[in-house]
Structure 1
Amino acid sequence: MTAHPGALPASLSARTRAVLVAHDVSKEYPGAGRVVDGVSLQVFAGELLAIVGPSGSGKSTLLHCLSGLERPTSGSVQIGGTRLEELGRSALARLRRERVGFVFQSYNLISSLTAWDNVALPARLARRRVRDEDVDRALAHVGLSSRARARPAALSGGQQQRVAVARALAVDRDLVFADEPTGALDSAAGAQVLSLLRSAAGANRAVVMVTHDLQAAATADRVLVLRDGAIHRELLAPTPTAVLQAVTAGGGGR
């Protein structure tokens, strides 16, 4: 099913609170030109949104602009009603710590810390009181209570990524951004991580996932297909076949 960009999915008809609003977002780099080109979208509480596209289509750059990791060249992004372009560097970093969680392909765990301490780290950086029960609950949710005192080197890739998911969920946040979260995992570990991200999209939280995995994208409520930095198609209740057809139709990406 194809929809107009920004349309409210029928499955979310009772959840109309937009936690992320982007308007006409573009990003340019010297020598590379415009990598993201006039993207407008909304993400709703309770939604898992997947962004797919050919290699070099601007997926990760768009995610970085939406999450505040990079500033767009033009356009606006709001998270929970706060306009990111109006924030200074310190305020933007504070917003990311307090309201946004991240799950990256490379896990980004601190090698000298245990799994428990990695999960607790964002709250400590945000100068929040770290409640043991919140960290314990997050690790239990990803099935790693027994590995709480293990350091990353003693964990498999799938276990490390589940620690990264627990870290993103341990503190209540509006949004979780996941950049190729299953890219370094085998199919079984990847399916576990996808299930966790799917369950993370609750009444007060949305998940935005960039992925090249069409099976992963098909678990989302909605899929945006990016080409040459712009939204080419939008799919609701997607199937892997529909996502493949949308990604491969027409010309290639930048």
Structure 2
Amino acid sequence: MDSPHGAAVTAEDFGLKGPRGWAFRGVDIEAGPGSLVAIEGPSGSGRTCLLLALTGRMRPTEGHAEIGGLRLPRKMAVVRRLGALGQVPGVNELDPAFTVAEHLRERALLQHRFDGSLRALLRPRAERVAAARGRIDAALAAAGLDTATLPKAERTSVRDLERLEALRLSIALALLGGPRLLAVDDTDLKLSDAERAEAWELLRSIADSGTTVLAVCSQAPEGAVTVRTDTSAAPADTQDAPAEDTTTEEGPADAFAETGRA
């Protein structure tokens, strides 16, 4: 898989206020393309809201940010298209009843249908199938998920995956679209020390390949651009934050455009 040029991420006095108070406030970020950005803080400190705001899925209340030179909140719709979400609880979750193969086929089909060129859509079916398989294999390799090691290979249901395997699958699905920005929530949740090290090694490799990575965590790894959410802000989660304003300068936006199955 050819790695895209990552999107630089900057923010100044960035904040989002919900019905229960500030989800986060006063956030400053300066991260170049291909950076690993760790959004560190305890659960309830606005980490997920910040992740969704930086990916154009929640409208900030104050300050501004730029993703790949695109200013938020004015360019929210465009920012959504250049980035991709890994699994975000309550927003972009894996279906536990689906198999690994079903998730991969569904995402590859959607990617082909909505992002493919007209010329690609008119190619013979055998060529399209082969191209999709190639993209899937490349995404799985980049995410470090060897399906041959799963209990039933690609026929393994998501409910039977270990936490780290599910994380790798959600990242592979996100990488199918060749995003410039990858956003991952709860990176280190319920992982052992060894698994946590593997997860960060994976995200570093993705960043090193050129894709900027935003990762929510309880403890940032060494070497990451670390952004700490304001623990003095009122507790908030994705349900507390204001819904995305779907009117942008690009026209009506598809709210939570990537919040279907991962």
TM-score, with length taken from structure 1? 0.69
- 1:133 corresponds to 2:134: yes
Q: Which SS does the other structure have where 2:139 is aligned?
A: helix
Q: Distance in 2 between matches of 1:75 and 1:154?
A: 43
In the other structure, the counterpart of 1:226 is 229
1:109 to 94, 114, 124: 94
Greater strand content: 1
How far 1:67 sits from its partner (Å)? 1.4
In the other structure, the counterpart of 1:76 is 64
1:28 to 17, 28, 35: 17
Q: Which SS does the other structure have where 1:168 is aligned?
A: helix
- 1:174 corresponds to 2:176: no
In the other structure, the counterpart of 2:147 is 145
1:157 to 160, 163, 171: 163
Q: Distance in 1 between matches of 2:172 and 2:192?
A: 19
Matched residue type, 1:62: L
Q: Distance in 1 between matches of 2:43 and 2:97?
A: 34
In the other structure, the counterpart of 1:38 is 26
Asked which structure has the greater RCO (Cα within 8 Å, sep 6+), the reply is 2
How far 1:133 sits from its partner (Å)? 0.5
Q: Which SS does the other structure have where 1:201 is aligned?
A: helix
Q: Which SS does the other structure have where 1:118 is aligned?
A: helix
Q: Distance in 1 between matches of 2:213 and 2:18?
A: 27
How far 1:183 sits from its partner (Å)? 0.2
How far 1:149 sits from its partner (Å)? 3.2
How far 1:180 sits from its partner (Å)? 1.3
Matched residue type, 2:189: G
How far 1:122 sits from its partner (Å)? 4.3
In the other structure, the counterpart of 1:242 is none
Structure 1: stretches of 5+ with no match in the other structure = 1-16, 231-254
Decide whether the 8 Å contact of 1:138 with 1:166 is kept in 2: yes
Cα gap change, 1:181/1:55 in structure 2, threshold over 3 Å: closer, same or farther?
closer
Decide whether the 8 Å contact of 1:177 with 1:208 is kept in 2: yes
How far 1:55 sits from its partner (Å)? 4.5
Q: Which moved more, 1:137-146 or 1:64-73?
A: 137-146
Q: Distance in 1 between matches of 2:27 and 2:115?
A: 34
Q: Distance in 1 between matches of 2:26 and 2:193?
A: 35
Q: Distance in 1 between matches of 2:41 and 2:18?
A: 20
Matched residue type, 1:134: R
Decide whether the 8 Å contact of 1:77 with 1:83 is kept in 2: yes
Q: Distance in 1 between matches of 2:11 and 2:176?
A: 26
Instruction: List per-residue Cα deviations over 1:62-93 (Å, max 9, x = no partner).
Output: 222111221111222322222342247xxx2x
How far 1:105 sits from its partner (Å)? 6.2
Q: Which SS does the other structure have where 1:72 is aligned?
A: coil
Decide whether the 8 Å contact of 1:54 with 1:227 is kept in 2: no
Decide whether the 8 Å contact of 2:31 with 2:37 is kept in 1: yes
Q: Distance in 1 between matches of 2:201 and 2:139?
A: 14
Instruction: List per-residue Cα deviations over 1:203-230 (Å, max 9, x = no partner).
Output: 5311111211x3xx12443222333468
Q: Distance in 1 between matches of 2:165 and 2:231?
A: 35
Matched residue type, 2:37: L
Q: Which SS does the other structure have where 2:178 is aligned?
A: coil
- 1:100 corresponds to 2:83: yes
Instruction: List per-residue Cα deviations over 1:122-141 (Å, max 9, x = no partner).
Output: 45434134621011122234
Identity %: 29
Matched residue type, 1:198: R
Q: Distance in 1 between matches of 2:42 and 2:96?
A: 33
How far 1:154 sits from its partner (Å)? 3.1
